[in-house]
Structure 1
């Protein structure tokens, strides 16, 4: 998969991988179609950071959710 391309499929993949890694239960707030495609680079950065870490504190998880929320369409 070529994540350098800003496609709906890649956005869906990134969100899916992030929510799976964080073991998020409420994924409705992080639907791929709600992400602003102009913020793709930031989403890739979040994805890369999440994939590098093994464990997350509750505070880190909250910060990540807030950051992804910032990427949503207005």
Structure 2
């Protein structure tokens, strides 16, 4: 998958991967259709950061969720 292209499919893929990695309980709040390609670079950066982490603390998880919330359209 080529994540360098800002497509709706890539947005969906990255959101789903982030939700899985974070084991988010309230997955309805992070529906991929709530994100547009206009914030693609920010989302891609967040995706890469989350995926490279081995563990994520509860505080970091809160911060990531808040940042993702601000990216929703």
Q: Which TM-score applies when normalising by structure 2? A: 0.95
Count of aligned positions: 73
| TM-align CA RMSD | 0.7
Q: Deviations over 1:35-55 (max 9, x none)?
A: 132100000000000011011
Secondary structure at the counterpart of residue 62 of structure 1:
helix
Give the Å deviation of 1:25.
Answer: 1.6
Q: Where does structure 1 lack aligned partners over 5 or more consecutive residues?
A: none
Q: Cα distance, 1:26 vs. partner?
A: 1.0
Structure 2 match to 1:2: 2
Higher helix share: 2
Q: Which runs of 5+ in 2 are unaligned?
A: none
- Where in structure 1 do 4 or more consecutive aligned residues deviate above 2 Å? none
Give the structure 2 partner of residue 42 of structure 1.
42
- TM-score relative to the length of structure 1: 0.94
In the alignment, is the contact (CA less than 8 A) between 2:39 and 2:71 conserved in 1?
Answer: yes
